[in-house]
Amino acid sequence: MIRSSPAVVRYYLALRLSQLRAESGLTKQQAGKQIGRTGQTIANLEKGLHAPTQSDLEKLLEHYGAAEQIPELKELLPVARKRTPKRTALIPEDYDLRLNLEVDMARLDIVEISLVPGLLQTPDYAAAVFRADPNHSDDEIQQLVEARMERKQIFMRAERPVELHVVLDESVLYRMRGGNGAMRDQLDYLLEAARTCTVDLQILPLDAGAFVGQGTSWTLMTFPESLQEHPGLVYLDLLEESRYVDDVTLVDLYRRTWRHVLGAAASVDRSLQLIRKAREDIR
């Protein structure tokens, strides 16, 4: 039995279908024609926007020369076709996809060089981050902050919590957002989160020197055990878009880079000392 959110399973299924079509040599238009659908329908399936019907899935796999995979992928359909609950907050579609994807990941490995990751932000810190965009109204900021605070449940819940391993650049501890009080609360929260069994927090010290992956921020998303045949995803938060890297070779590159970043990061004990020092330096 698959115990994951519809978004995770739908995205996983989309990736598998995309890979199998590419291996078959068919274009999206050709694959759609084979089953009486449009190329756009195939594109939507491969983006994870919706799940195929059982009939379309079976026909596609047969045309892709992968009929032996029908039983395995057909088992995913009941979950993939479930409706994802609508959120009350008015949040961007790409952000909603991220929330739905990460809720049932097994692990998130996060490298951040410019700000505290959203999953570890306090309300005042998050509000200051969102307030930097002049297009956000006060009501929108409040809804965005509420949505961000709800995300924390994924590593705080009792059943199948998501494991977090965060590597944070030391400069983030001193980059002011929301004033002294907000920064003190934020650093206190980092120390509190680091004491939980589901969060590992390390700091990239200013004296770390050069290392592979320097200057980049990203999240490595590992699928739950039931879907770990896929290598995972890399999430990139860009200025105008959110991008998911699913190419096997590139995901492997990020995993190797993650190991380099860990080698440059301070130990857990020294990381906590660096956070406490930054907390004490705030006047």
- pLDDT one-digit tens code per residue, 120-163: 999 999 999 999 999 889 999 999 999 899 889 889 888 889 99
Two structure tokens written together for 165 = 């391993």
CA 48 to chain centre: 15
Question: pLDDT tier at 262 (50, 70, 90 boundaries)?
Answer: very high
pLDDT given at position 179: 93
Cβ proximity of 99 and 26 under 8 Å: no
Q: If you average pLDDT over each of 3-7, 43-47, 81-85, 192-196, which comes out highest?
A: 192-196
- In the chain, what percentage of residues exceed pLDDT 70? 90
**How many angstroms separate the CA atoms of 200 and 270, rounded?**
13
pLDDT given at position 5: 63
Segment 181-201 mean pLDDT? 96
**Rg of the Cα trace of the chain?**
21
- Helix, strand, coil % over all residues of the chain, rounded to 5: 55, 10, 35
- pLDDT one-digit tens code per residue, 104-125: 789 999 999 999 999 999 999 9
Segment 14-20 mean pLDDT? 85
Least confident window among 27-36, 112-121, 151-160, 194-203: 151-160
Pairing of strands 163-169, 233-237: unpaired
Enter the pTM of the model: 0.76
- In the chain, what percentage of residues exceed pLDDT 90? 56
Question: pLDDT tier at 28 (50, 70, 90 boundaries)?
Answer: very high
Strand, coil or helix: 244: strand
